[in-house]
Amino acid sequence: MKEADGTKEAGDLIQIKSDNTLDNGSINGSMKKEKDLKIGVIGAGLMGLTLAYRISKSNATVKVIERDSQPGGLSTYFNYGKFIWDKFYHVIVPTDGSLIGLIEEIGLGSKLNFTRALTGYYVNKSFYSLNGPKDYLLFPLLNIWDKMRLAYTIFYGSRIKNWKKLEQVHLKDWLVKMGGQKNFNKFWAPLLLAKLGENYKRVSGVFIWTYIKRLFKAREYPVEKDYMGYVTGGYKTVFDKLEQLLNENNSSLLLDTVVTSIEPAEGGGINVHYGESVEYFDKVVFTAPLNVLEKVTDPRLCEVVRHERAIEYMGVVCLVLTTHKALTPYYILNISDTQSPFTGVIGISTLVDQEQTSGLQLTYFPKYIPADHAFWSKSDSELKAIFLEGVKDLYPDFDESDIVSAHINRAFKVQPLQVLNYSEIIPKTHTKHPDFYVLNTSQFVNDSVNNNSVVTHVNSFIDEYKHEFQAVNKK
Ligand SMILES: Cc1cc2nc3c(=O)[nH]c(=O)nc-3n(C[C@H](O)[C@H](O)[C@H](O)COP(=O)(O)OP(=O)(O)OC[C@H]3O[C@@H](n4cnc5c(N)ncnc54)[C@H](O)[C@@H]3O)c2cc1C
Per-residue burial over 73-110, b if 16 or more Cβ lie within 10 Å, else e, is bbbbbbebeebbbbbbbbbbbbbbbbbbbbbeebebee
User: Taking the model in full, what pTM does it have?
Assistant: 0.91
Whether 316 is covered by a domain: the verdict is: no
Q: Which CATH number does the domain housing residue 450 bear?
A: 3.50.50.60
Q: Is residue 80 part of a domain?
A: no
Q: How many domains does the chain have?
A: 1
Q: For ligand 1, atom 19, which residue shows the shortest CA distance?
A: 450
Atom of ligand 1 nearest to the CA of 44: 49
How far does residue 142's CA lie from ligand 1's centre (Å)? 37
Q: Alpha-carbon Rg of the chain, whole angstroms?
A: 23
Give pLDDT, residue 469: 86
Closest C-alpha to ligand 1, atom 15: 450
Separation CA 377–CA 94 (nearest Å): 38
Which amino acid, 263? E
What does the pLDDT read at residue 11? Answer: 32
Q: Is residue 90 part of a domain?
A: no
Residue 258 alpha carbon to ligand 1 centre in Å: 16
Q: Please report whether residue 203 resides in a domain.
A: no
Cβ-contact 414, 318 below 8 angstroms? no
Query: What pLDDT shows up at residue 303?
Result: 77
Domain carrying residue 272:
15-73+234-307+424-469
121 belongs to a structural domain: no
**Is residue 369 in contact with ligand 1, taking CB distance under 6 Å?**
no
Q: Cβ(89) to ligand 1 under 6 A?
A: yes
Burial of 379 (0-12, 13-18, 19+ CB in 10 A): exposed
Backbone angles phi, psi at 233, to 5 degrees: 90, -5
pLDDT for position 225: 78
Specify if 27 maps to a domain: yes
pLDDT, residue 215, reads: 77
* Alpha-carbon gap, residue 412 to 414, rounded angstroms: 6
What angle in degrees, to the nearest 10, is found between the helix axes of 206-216 and 171-179? 60
- Answer for the pair 117, 227: CB distance below 8 angstroms, yes or no: yes
Residue 349 lies in a domain: no
Burial of 144 (0-12, 13-18, 19+ CB in 10 A): exposed
Ligand 1 pocket mutation, candidates 74, 274, 368, 452, criterion most atoms within 8 A of CB:
74
Mutate to test the pocket of ligand 1, among 41, 75, 238 (most ligand atoms within 8 A of CB): 75
- Is residue 295 domain-resident? yes
CB distance 443 to ligand 1 below 6 Å: no
* Rounded CA separation 274/7 (Å): 12
Q: Ligand 1 mean position to 221 CA, how many Å?
A: 24
pLDDT of residue 403: 98
Q: Report yes or no: 117 and 350 within 8 Å, Cβ to Cβ.
A: yes
Alpha carbon distances (Å) from 113 to 89, 100, 103: 15, 11, 12
Binding site membership of 91 for ligand 1 (Cβ less than 6 Å): yes
- Given a contact cutoff of 8 angstroms between Cβ atoms, the answer to whether 209 and 163 are in contact is yes
Residue-wise pLDDT tens digits, 267-282: 999 999 999 999 999 9
Cβ(46) – ligand 1 distance below 6 Å = yes
What pLDDT is stored for residue 474 in this prediction?
41
pLDDT of residue 305: 61
Which amino acid is present at 85? Answer: W
For the chain, which residues score pLDDT lower than 50? 1-33, 471-475
The Cα angle at residue 393 between residues 392 and 398, in degrees rounded to 5:
30
- CA-CA-CA-CA torsion sign (60, 61, 66, 69): positive
